[in-house]
Structure 1
């Protein structure tokens, strides 16, 4: 038989035979001295196949040929600890046969182990054409030892795991470790038992059961045959594999025998039939993006059938995909996923085009990959682009207008702050002379930004669609521009308008005004390197900028000035200083034109009254210094060297790891342009505690951008819940401790004294009434989440507690350094854990454990400003000598 088969195979052309080969990821096996990645080879018929295989690991650091073994159709790739120790980033593993790359696929619904732990690190193997070897969750430490459990008990929506008596469970919780995510379960402790009723974030798949304390993960070891847990959303089957506890999680499903959807005016009528013995109470529409769910009651005329009516707006308003669920009647309801995998004649994929609020939208029901019933809706696409910029003229096109009824097309120029706008009616192909527009009339202040939109506006004046427009040849940098224009107002002030783009290549216009009283030299402005202009954000004077300015005034002969808006609260405190310059004032312009050194905690936009760009008043001749807002390493920042035509000449940092691992390696600055000095504001930090007050100071979340998003956010829910927690209030009152809440400036409007009224021991600190540094000095314990102000607290040798209830989402775009390198202190994941830690710190009288912080602060003295000054002087010397 083999001879016949081989003869038949040889009759097939070689190219066709290669196309039939399949390589699948099966699992990962752990041996005493190495790990084995096991693959299944299908339709490989070469006799000497082993000699024709090549396996290469490719990472950003190096490439390496890997050893492998071949037994029948199983290819096992060997990973040794030495190989893993060299990996600093994610890597790929390529497999070639006869020098042809093999396409490696993941088996559907893979339930085998594809991950492993080594030396505290977690690795996962996945397949997407090539093998991906990923080191995930670098902020966690994974223990290879186990926590031994004694028993597991389950009931509806409840899991209890008992541990042996010698385990202290204080601070521990339960977590599920999937191949590529961690889901922490809100857990309570009772003696040697961890209990959870929190399954709202659980998803389908195979997950190992872990206990977690802070960022330390330990697997649970327990010998059981099988245990099932029913939750409203899922069925969890617990099994022991090599005595390690795993959960196999599946959705509840119900097989549909008929599904019909009909659009009647502004509603969609759904009729469904099923053969199983369930009584349905609610039909659920779930948004796959926002995860918001809307429930609708159903009408049932007979068992196994129901009908419900859904407003069309529920399905289409957000223009996102939807999925549907059914909720059963009863005290222990189940959420069922309608399975339409076996229905062949339901009209799936048939698109219905309807005119909805002036737009021709497409909508259709479909069978999702998980065989559930889904819904898609798409808006008509508007293709729009600026293809040419010359001088102050724009040329471009807009296509797709035929899909809008009763609408005209406009280009809108809108001030970013006041939202005042100029509208211009445009055709499909447009050429616009921007000099004809009165842009100066919509400016909210002398220096502002005007965003550019394309809009479809109905005859009634309703904006049906409004989208930003991109520039085809965008080369985004913070300090470049593509075209410009200047004009005089009736008051003889000169308005400069510059066409620029955002990081997403969207068009915008940056504009600034030079008052008529300002004399602009005709010749090149020669810079004075003993005149230094310092600033922070436009409206603050309480960070490294102002700290360094005060040092310069008190300790050097530098002619130093500080720029700040006159409307700022901080301006009132420092306006008596003649070297404090109101932003845009005559004196501000005079100093800005001649200053040879510019020093800011943010982009230099914040301290110059004009556009910081080549060609504007010899900006290119200045020495540009980034003083920093905090210690880098926790999250990605916008100061990469590639984003500047004229990057910073000097980048201030606090440690060698921050210099080499972050600013040089990640932000691509040269070694001689990064100075390890420490931050200026650190100089005025005392050491030790003087009070028994607690400061609660969280940072912001960039995904919250509307009032509704804030008030429905986990962020608001968690902090509002914390300050109203009865247990916390009692602890504060019993110990006569004050907790002062200082929300981020963007959250201040949502928190106030009226909200914080449950106890006189919890107070709201209004923005501008105290400087951040005063608050840090005057408190003994800081509670924050990810804010860099924690570094100031740590440097004062005072304890910090971090509240990380949304750590995965906050760091969704990645981290610059592992969390354990920058978060010095205790970390709470739940409100109960946070209150436990607060109570513990009060009992300890806020005593810090004095951790080693040399990896964050090279210098722990009060000479940071002096080192910054000397570093700037060296840069000036280099500029003059050059």
Structure 2
């Protein structure tokens, strides 16, 4: 019940009768000022034990009596009744006061006196009372930096008892790491009968925060960690359950908290309100130099109307449509001034070597400055990847840019609305490029973009993919097989042990260790490479094979792999569509197409998937052998490519995308 409910229970000019609960000489005692609790007893099922009446308004019962009551019943909850009508004592009708303890013990059991969730006085045996029984509400008061620590002040309203302690719990939502901060110096004030306000102050070391909650933090990564705020409580009179209470978001404090992390770096918390109104935070580390640049620009910079174009993929990559369109901007036009955002440890930096004057290091002060200046943004994934860290100001700058979603593949079977849809992410982008009329319809129907914001251009990387492609070149690669499956929703969050129990791991582990496939490889001089999706790369070392090469992400680009193989085995990934554009054979291994998010699209997607579908390894193996003999895409699938995937079949996609940019 709410605090308001309790404040309404009593008019201040009419004092409430006191009711005292306490333990004395291992007996539970109830005392009122005037109310006669006639026939006061403890009940368990049909059995009862009566309290001993000590005075007209005082009653007691011993641990031995309670143990006798519970001897024949295997239950944990004991009810306290008075009167012949089995009436319970309602705590809201009295001004309740607790003694030092509400716990009775003997050699065999522990009895807890407590007030229930519906405010009735009860007892339990060997089961701690719920902390929720003593909780009313909470409100975050302040969160700021004090002496290079994060200071968080929380006000908790409790009922019937003040708090002995409150523990702040910070939980890494994705990885499960928990940081517990204890506050034993609580300032508790009784503000009304049965209502206490408890003010708690927690101090969080930024070093401990990152070491505990994000031990694998990589400065160069775009970090997606989400930390949720909870707390537990303990009353003075005895143990309760460790129920985790959620802390709500408050508009009373700012969304950014910065503090020194080390001599070289600053730590940031970006506080935000979850969909349910609760308090969570994103986290970041930033060099002192970049932090000073950011603070300076907050006070001086204004968005400029210029021709600066930022281009980004994942911060550590330059191998997708972003790179190919950036290269086009650098070599084929002089109207726009492009800059490519990338980390300083990226393996793809070597590809950008000819353009280093227009390459900007992720999280550098130049990166931050350009976010305040640039007018345009070209992105292959979520547009947030252009941000070095989250802040309200940087998000506003990003949202104000004119954006084109270059995509990272043709939209295929998966419904990507939760990731890229206009309904879920209205600020993601302004225009989205597609490769066919079919894809335009799918984007419109599934991702809710209006047709005028969807442009049929083809993907930027197609220009390079189709460059010098011909049937003779295709046949040169027929003995090279690439296995490149997509990922599975939420399975990227599993532990290694949990991932090994998935259907995905079972089927692919079985395929790459199959004796019949190994025999085919050795007898025909085949090469098979297995490349896991970026979201599954962390599980790469769980797969083992004597004849299949398990590739590291970053050693070769996906684009290069597609160009250098003659047969592709995939499942739902859009790489199958890219591959078929080269007129090379694609085999679809769909052993789990009963997944809800996939099943919804299969009925329509089979009309444009440019290859046969196999549900079992036994069906797939003969098709692999046949494909290595002739890897040309069959005529029926060539027609699908022409009509459903990419009607242009040319090297002018970048030119068409450039026209979209000019029209923004």
Q: TM-score, normalised by structure 1?
A: 0.49
* Aligned match of 1:768: 554
Superposition map of 1:394-543 within 5 A: 409-412=167-170, 414=172, 421=179, 423=181, 425=183, 437-439=204-206, 442-443=209-210, 444=217, 445=219, 448=223, 449-454=225-230, 456=232, 483-487=254-258, 489=260, 497-502=269-274, 507-512=279-284, 513=286, 514-516=290-292, 519-520=296-297, 522-543=299-320
Distance 2:531 2:308 in 1: 36
Contact kept, 8 Å, 1:678 with 1:857, in 2: the verdict is: yes
Give the Cα–Cα distance (whole angstroms) in 1 for the partners of residues 292 and 619 of structure 2: 61
What is the rounded CA distance, in whole Å, between the counterparts of 2:159 and 2:523 in structure 1? 67
* Residue 432 (structure 2) pairs with residue 654 (structure 1): no
Residue 446 of structure 2 aligns to a residue whose secondary structure is coil
Question: What is the CA deviation profile of residues 644-667 of structure 1, one whole-angstrom value per residue up to 9, with x for unaligned ones?
Answer: 4634111122222322x3332332
User: How far apart, CA to CA, are the structure 2 residues paired with 1:543 and 1:649?
Assistant: 20
> Are the equivalent residues in 2 in contact too, given 1:801–1:826 (CA < 8 A)?
yes
Q: Deviations over 1:174-211 (max 9, x none)?
A: xxxxxxxxxxxxxxxxxxxxxxxxxxxxxxxxxxxxxx
Q: 2:328 aligns with which of 551, 565, 569?
A: 551
Determine if contact 2:570/2:587 at 8 Å carries over to the other structure.
yes
1:113-159 deviation digits (Å, cap 9, x = unpaired): xxxxxxxxxxxxxxxxxxxxxxxxxxxxxxxxxxxxxxxxxxxxxxx
Shift of 1:755: 5.2
Deviates more, 1:700-709 or 1:419-428: 419-428
Q: CA deviation at 1:676?
A: 1.4
| Bigger fraction of residues in strand | 1
Q: 1:664 to 1:617 in 2, by over 3 A?
A: closer
Structure 2 CA distance for partners of 1:783 and 1:492, relative to 1, 3 Å: closer
Partner of 1:569: 347
CA contact (8 A) 1:395 1:430 kept: no
SS class of match (1:739)? strand
1:582 and 1:417 map into 2 onto residues whose CA distance is 28
| CA shift for structure 1 position 571 | 3.6
Residue 580 of structure 1 corresponds to which residue in structure 2?
359
Question: CA 1:433–1:555 in structure 2 vs 1: closer, same or farther (change >3 Å)?
Answer: farther
Aligned to 2:546: 758
2:451 — aligned with what?
A: 671
State the alpha-carbon separation in 1 of the partners of residues 436 and 580 from structure 2.
14
Contact 1:413–1:451 under 8 Å retained in 2? yes
Which protein has the bigger helix share? 2
**Structure 2 matches for 1:253-272, cutoff 5 A?**
none
Q: CA deviation at 1:464?
A: 6.4
- The 3-state SS of whatever aligns with 2:650 is coil
Measure how far apart 1:385 and its partner are: 8.3
Q: Deviations over 1:511-556 (max 9, x none)?
A: 4544225641634523243211111112222111112111111112
Partner residue in 1 for 2:511 = 722
868, 872, 877: which is aligned to 2:657?
868
Tell me how far apart the structure 1 counterparts of residues 178 and 353 of structure 2 sit (CA, whole Å). 31
DSSP-derived class of the 2:375 partner: strand
TM-score w.r.t. length of structure 2: 0.64
Are residues 1:789 and 2:572 paired? no
Corresponding residue of 1:177:
none
The offset of 1:452, in angstroms, is 1.4
Cα distance in structure 1, aligned partners of 2:165 and 2:200: 23
CA shift for structure 1 position 723: 0.9
- Matched residue pairs, number? 494
Deviation of the 1:572 alpha carbon: 5.5
Superposed CA offset, 1:583-604 (max 9, x none): 1112222222211111111222
> Which digits, 9 at most, give the CA deviation of each residue in 1:472-530, with x for residues without a partner?
99xxxxxxx99423545386977654322456765422345442256416345232432
1:825 alignment partner, one of 611, 614, 620: 611
**Aligned residue number for residue 219 of structure 1:** none
List gaps (5 residues or longer) in structure 1: 1-261, 266-352, 361-378, 474-480, 876-882
Asked if the contact 2:134–2:159 (Cα under 8 Å) also holds between the matched residues in 1, the reply is: yes
Whole-angstrom distance in 1 between the partners of 2:199 and 2:450: 42
Question: Is the contact made by 1:650 and 1:675 (CA closer than 8 Å) also made in structure 2?
Answer: yes
Among 383, 407, 417, the residue aligned to 1:604:
383
Once the two structures are TM-superposed, the CA of residue 718 in structure 1 deviates from its matched residue by 0.8
Tell me the CA shift for residue 800 of structure 1. 0.8
How far apart are residue 823 of structure 1 and its match? Answer: 2.1
CA contact (8 A) 2:309 2:339 kept: yes
Give the whole-Å Cα distance in 1 for the aligned partners of 2:320 and 2:201. Answer: 39
**Cα 1:699–1:620, aligned 2, differ >3 Å: closer, same or farther?**
closer
Q: Secondary structure at the match of 1:516?
A: helix
Secondary structure of the residue aligned to 1:648 is coil
* Counterpart position of 1:680: 460
Q: Matched residues in 2 for 1:387 and 1:528: separation?
A: 43
CA contact (8 A) 1:543 1:681 kept: yes
Contact 2:169 2:179 (8 Å CA) reproduced: no
Partner of 1:589: 368
> In structure 1, how many angstroms separate the alpha carbons of the residues matched to 2:133 and 2:503?
33
SS at match of 2:438: helix
Instruction: Give deviations 1:376-427, integer Å, cap 9, x for gaps.
Output: xxx999999877899978878699999xxx9954232659689584736499
Bigger relative contact order (CA 8 A; separation at least 6): 2
State the SS of the aligned residue for 2:404: strand
Q: Distance between the aligned counterparts of 1:381 and 1:843, measured in 2?
A: 72
**C-alpha contact (below 8 Å) 1:633/1:816 kept by paired residues:** no
1:792, CA displacement in angstroms? 0.7
CA contact (8 A) 1:666 1:816 kept: no
Residues 494 and 516 in structure 1, CA contact (< 8 A), matched pair in contact too: no
1:770 counterpart SS class: coil
Confirm or deny: 8 A CA contact 2:520 2:625 kept in the other structure: yes
How far apart, CA to CA, are the structure 2 residues paired with 1:796 and 1:394? 61
**What aligned pairs does 1:75-94 form with structure 2 within 5 A after superposition?**
none
SS of the counterpart of 2:357? coil
Deviation of 1:621 after TM superposition, in Å, equals 3.4
CA RMSD of aligned residues (A): 4.5
Distance change >3 Å, CA 685–CA 411, structure 1 → 2: same
Q: Which residue is 1:852 aligned to?
A: 640
Q: Distance in 2 between matches of 1:756 and 1:839?
A: 22
CA contact (8 A) 2:435 2:456 kept: yes
Quote the Cα distance in structure 1 between the aligned partners of 2:277 and 2:435. 33
| Shift in CA distance, 730/560, structure 1 to aligned 2, threshold 3 Å | same
TM-aligned CA distance change 1:453 to 1:588, over 3 Å: same
- The CA distance in 1 between the partners of 2:348 and 2:591, in whole Å, is 33
Secondary structure of the residue aligned to 2:344 is coil
**2:255 is paired with a residue of what secondary structure?**
strand
1:616–1:766: structure 2 CA closer, same or farther, 3 Å change rule? Answer: closer
Q: Tell me the SS of whatever aligns to 1:818.
A: helix
Residue equivalent to 1:623 = 402
Distance 2:159 2:404 in 1: 47
Bigger shift: residues 389-398 or 807-816: 389-398
Tell me how far apart the structure 1 counterparts of residues 316 and 324 of structure 2 sit (CA, whole Å): 15
Tell me, yes or no, if structure 1 residue 701 matches structure 2 residue 488. yes
Q: Deviations over 1:625-651 (max 9, x none)?
A: 211122224222222223346341111
